[in-house]
Amino acid sequence: MTAPLRQAGSPAEPIVVPVALGTRAYDIVIGRGLIASLGERIAALRPGAKVAVVTDATVAKRHLAATEAALKSAGIESSAIVVPEGEGSKSYATFETVCEAIVAAHIERGDLVIALGGGVIGDLAGFAAASARRGLDFVQVPTTLLAQVDSSVGGKTGINSRHGKNLVGAFHQPILVVADTALLDTLPKREFRAGYAEVAKFGLLGDAAFFSWLEANWQDIFAGNTAREHAIAVCCRGKAGIVARDERETGERALLNLGHTFGHALEAGAGFSGRLLHGEAVALGTALAFEFSARKGLISEADAARARAHLAAVGLPTYLKDVPGGVPGIDALMDLIAQDKKVKRGKLTFILVRGIGQAFVENDVSAAEVRAFLTDKLNA
C-alpha cells in the first residue's frame, strides 16, 4: 500500500487504480488537470451519451464551466442541475428535485449522471442515478479531499433521515472516478483538514506504515506536493481492494467505518450543520474509538494518545469540548448511536482497534459500557 512516491521530474501521467468488480469494474484516475480530459474519457465509455451534471452552487462557480467545456469539446450534450451547498441537500426534498430534473432533461437509460462535487453531491447524485428511470450509470468527479479518498469510491449512495445520517440509499457503483487533484487547490483549509481525517483514518485502521508516513509527511500533502497524489492513491488502492472483496459491507468493509459510529451521532447531534463537518466528526469519532479501545484494554494509552496527537496536530477536533456550541446530552447521543447502520437486531457494533493499523469489528458492544464512557468524556 505504501508504494514509493513518484520521483520529482518524472512524467505527470495520471495514476490509475482499478476497482475489480467483474462486469461492474471501473477505474479511479488520479492526477492534476484531469477535468480537461473528462469528455474524452466519458465518450470512450459511453459513445453518444448525454449527461446531467449534478453539482452545488459553490462548486458550480468554480468548476462547472470547465466541466461543460470538456464535455462540449468531446461532442457531449450536457445539462446542469445545481443544488444548495451543504449537508442539508442530502434530503428527501433535494433528492426529489434532482430526480425530477434528470427526467425533465430527457436523460435516458443509456445516458449518464455526473456527480461534480464533494461527498454530499456524490451521495445525492449517485442515489438519484440509482433511482431515476430505475437506474442510470454515473461518473464521480470528486472535488474535495474527503470525496477523492473515500466517498467517491465504492458505490455507497444516499441521503439523510431525521433519525440519522445515510439511512436511506442504495449501493450503486460509478462507471468511472476522475480525481483531479488540482481541484483541491481551491478548497478552504477547513474543508481540506476535514478530508484529511479520512486519509489518517485509513492508516489507523489497516496500514501502520502509511500512518507513520503521514506523521512525517502530512504538511507536504497540505502543500500540494507529489505527496498529495501519493496519499490519495494509497487510500484509493486500499479501499478498492476492500470494496472488491466485500462490496455490500457484510464483513471487512465495515472496517472503513472506524470513527463513524461516534462521529455520525455527533454530526447528527450538531444538526448536520457547519458546526461540525463530516470529516471533523470522523476525526473526533476516531479519537473516541481509540480511547474506548484503550478503556477496554485492547490497546495502550500511548497508542490512543498517538492517534489523537496526529489528528490534533493537523487541526482536527479530538475532544467533545472542541465542538462549537457543544454536543447533545448522553441520552440524545445514545439514541443516535442506536440508529447506526451497523446495529444488528438492536445490538451495538463498533469498529475498535488492537493497535495502530489493526482495526476489527466488535459486535454486541454493551450500551451501558458506551454510555459510561461517553458520560466520562462529556464531564471531562
Q: Where are the alpha helices (DSSP H) in 296-379?
A: 301-314, 330-337, 367-379
Picking from 26, 21, 59, 47, the residue whose alpha carbon sits closest to that of residue 178 is 26
**Residue 151 cell numbers, joined:** 466517498
Phi, psi dihedral angles at 269 (to 5 degrees): -65, -25
Report residue 216 as a C-alpha cell. Answer: 512525517
The DSSP bridge partners found for residue 113 are 52, 138
- Give per-residue burial for 119-154: e unless 16+ CB within 10 Å, then b: bbbbbbbbbbbbbbeeebbbbbbbbbbbbbbbbbbb
| Residues marked as catalytic | 134, 156, 198, 239, 249, 253, 257, 260, 264, 278
How far apart, in whole angstroms, are the C-alpha atoms of residue 142 and residue 177?
8
- Residue 42: closest CA among 81, 79, 75, 80: 75
Q: What is the CA radius of gyration of the chain?
A: 20
Question: In this structure, what are the phi and psi dihedrals at residue 171, rounded to the nearest 5 degrees?
Answer: -80, 120
Taking a C-beta distance cutoff of 8 angstroms, is the pair 119, 197 a contact?
no
Find out whether 277 and 193 touch, Cβ atoms under 8 Å.
no
- Position 377: which residue type? K
Q: Are strands 15-19 and 26-31 parallel, antiparallel or unpaired?
A: antiparallel
In the chain, count of helices (H) and strands (E)? 14, 11
